Amino acid sequence: MGRLTAQRGEIWLIDLGMIQKVRPVLILSVPYKDEERALVSYVVRTTSLRGTEYEVPHSAPKFHAGAFDVQSISTVPDVQLIRRMSFCDSMTLEKVEAALLQWLDLRRKC
């Protein structure tokens, strides 16, 4: 059986090591090609909210109230993915993208 490839907009359970443990994350990257590095980029889903403008609220069945924290963007090898949990709705994904653009200041004009 082939390895599942994470798709943009999916919520996966991921092993982030001893410090952050196993957590749900929202996949932001597109699937990699055979010749590319086997990496996925994501933002962490948290239930420890601080009320910042970079937390995008998320509620869904089987999840406690929480948010995607775009300040917690990272990239890891896909072997750290454990299993797909769910899919993010398109409206929440758009809000995550907008918050990420703001956090990284990617809307600034030259």
pLDDT over 70 at 110, yes or no: no
| Residue 52, domain member (yes or no) | yes
pLDDT tier at 4 (50, 70, 90 boundaries)? low
Total structural domains within the chain: 1
| Residue 4, domain member (yes or no) | no
| Residue 5, domain member (yes or no) | no
| Residue 109, domain member (yes or no) | no
| Residue 58, domain member (yes or no) | yes
| Residue 110, domain member (yes or no) | no
pLDDT 10s digits, 56-84: 999 999 999 999 999 999 999 999 999 99
Residue range(s) defining the domain that contains residue 34? 10-103
Q: What pLDDT is attached to residue 109?
A: 62
- Which CATH number covers residue 67? 2.30.30.110
For 35, phi then psi, to 5°, come to -85, -5
